[in-house]
Amino acid sequence: MLAALIAGAVVAPISAAAAHPEIPAPAPAHIATLTPTTLDSAYAANRANAAEASRMAAAHGDRSRAAAVRSMADPSRHFLTFDARGPGRAAEVFGDLAKADHVAVLVPGSDTSLDTYDRFRAGAVALHQRLGRRVGPRTAVIAWLGYDTPGTISPDVLTTDLAKEAAPELRDFIGELRRVNGQARLTLLCHSYGTVVGARAASGLDISDLVLIGSPGTGVDSAAGLHTKARVWAGRGGDDWIADVPHTRADLFGTTVGFGTDPVSPAFGARVFAAGDGGHSDYLKPGSVSLANLARIVLGETSEMTHG
């Protein structure tokens, strides 16, 4: 772990500078308080902001960012929030949020930004399609890129510091969703470092289920330590390298490194579900065991679950 921290301290500043150059972008659009009647205007304002961000990136000479953001301005896209500054932030909706009976919010892990957003989005699309096949149109999925994710090779990925900063943002976002739709069954699905974020935000969240997938640990020793009334689930694919991460915490040069108890272990106390044989990025892969079980959790059909 010490070796990883040292390597990260050397590599991270170089990789971060390469991944997130100072690309000019507009300030986020001013959005009125989200309600069912203001959703369409919010979507339109964020698409317009994405179009302007694309023009600014192109003028700056960054064709990759310009192309990535240009696609987000398409009339078919629905963003509750959008900010193209730096690595970028966004919250994209799939489905009719105001009328949905079941809503799933996805929280990503490391190395997720506007430049890599499509892979995160693909998982949200796959889950929404799976839910739609089971119960029809009254479901919604939200891809929430609402924080600055750590680099996989960086000191940040070994501590809870970024999660502490992200947790209030996630709590506020869930509160906004409840103003739009106060009746839906709401599930929070967190992946990798996103499970650390979800764990920090869990206390007091108005959600039915908290799902931890591919988790390095949460920063607490047990599910009870999350102080949530939600049911806590955990799953890990058979080929997920996260299983080899030391599930411990230690003080190193005045910094707490590591996240403690493995969430799929009996000691943690979560409800463990079968996640198949997939790798770290395969949990929302179409046709996978994990996707099927995640859809069951979102729909509350847990009597049909297959367990790990």
Total Cβ atoms within 10 A of residue 38? 15
Percent of the chain with pLDDT over 70: 91
Task: Say how many Å lie between the first and final Cα of the chain, rounded.
Answer: 28
Q: Is the pLDDT of residue 15 over 50?
A: no
Name the pLDDT band for 254 (thresholds 50, 70, 90).
low
pLDDT digits (tens, 9 = 90+) for 196-253: 999 999 998 999 999 999 999 999 999 999 999 999 999 999 999 999 988 876 776 6
Edge-to-edge strand order for the sheet containing 89-95?
79-83, 89-95, 139-145, 102-107, 185-191, 209-213, 231-235, 271-272
Residue 191: closest CA among 169, 174, 216:
216
The reported pLDDT for the residue numbered 42 is 97
Name the pLDDT band for 94 (thresholds 50, 70, 90).
very high
> Does the global pTM surpass 0.85?
yes
pLDDT digits (tens, 9 = 90+) for 179-201: 999 999 999 999 999 999 999 99
Mean pLDDT, rounded, for 106-125: 96
Read off the tokens for 244. Answer: 């080899």
Name the pLDDT band for 136 (thresholds 50, 70, 90).
confident
Mean pLDDT, rounded, for 162-186: 96
pLDDT digits (tens, 9 = 90+) for 32-77: 899 999 999 999 999 999 999 999 999 999 999 999 999 999 999 9
